[in-house]
Structure 1
């Protein structure tokens, strides 16, 4: 059962985003990027009010993803990535991204906060940041 509304095309778009943002971080890293994407659709809070679909989330401007500016994002999703996206859409969560709305790849250590959001942890090169429950209860 999906935790957000989706269809096959939108799930493939999520799969392409996951690959483009985190392929070098393996399946777990890609799942975490998927968690952030799903959380932005579920959240209806902060910078993500009125984001109701995977395309809304991916192409949000400002606030969307850097990957959409690169040709690699536009390549066809592979079956493996689609299966990962399906797992994420079905509600599978991976810490530290389980409640995260943001991530980025710093040159050094993860800062304790980023734009006033608390660091929930790091996976390989990406740092993840979560809102408070009061700011975004739908991601908890």
Structure 2
């Protein structure tokens, strides 16, 4: 059962985002990007107040995703990524992105914090960061 409202266009949009942000990190990396996106819709805290839809989340500015500025994001969603997107919409969570609201690809090691948010771990090139439970209880 879905943890956020999503129609087929939303699934496609999340699938394209997951591919554009993490295709080189395989299915697990793409699932983690999907986790972060779903968490941002659920959160209603910090940088993500009033982010209620897939479109709000994907095109948030400032604070959104760099990939929406590149042509690769706008290519048609493939079935593989659609299935992965649906899994995250249905609530599947993958560590270290389980409760994450942010990720980025640093040069070198992951910092312990990023913009005062704790590092929850790294998967391949991306580091993931989580809010406190007190700041964002809806993502825990």
TM-score by length of 1: 1.00
For residues 3 and 11 of structure 1, the distance between their equivalents in structure 2, rounded to whole angstroms, comes to 13
Residue aligning to 1:137: 137
Indicate the SS of the match to 2:41: helix
Indicate the SS of the match to 1:62: coil
For residues 18 and 53 of structure 2, the distance between their equivalents in structure 1, rounded to whole angstroms, comes to 16
- Give the count of matched residue pairs: 140
For residues 118 and 4 of structure 1, the distance between their equivalents in structure 2, rounded to whole angstroms, comes to 25
Indicate the SS of the match to 1:85: helix
Residue aligning to 1:123: 123
- Structure 1 position 121, deviation (Å): 0.1
TM-score by length of 2: 1.00
Residue aligning to 2:55: 55
Q: What stretches of structure 2 of length at least 5 have no aligned partner?
A: none
For residues 42 and 8 of structure 1, the distance between their equivalents in structure 2, rounded to whole angstroms, comes to 19
Alignment pair present for 1:73 and 2:73: yes
Residue correspondence of structure 1 range 84-123 to structure 2 within 5 A: 84-123=84-123
For residues 91 and 55 of structure 2, the distance between their equivalents in structure 1, rounded to whole angstroms, comes to 18
Indicate the SS of the match to 1:103: strand
For residues 133 and 5 of structure 2, the distance between their equivalents in structure 1, rounded to whole angstroms, comes to 23
For residues 7 and 42 of structure 1, the distance between their equivalents in structure 2, rounded to whole angstroms, comes to 16
Residue aligning to 2:15: 15
- Structure 1 position 45, deviation (Å): 0.4
Q: What stretches of structure 1 of length at least 5 have no aligned partner?
A: none
Residue correspondence of structure 1 range 12-51 to structure 2 within 5 A: 12-51=12-51
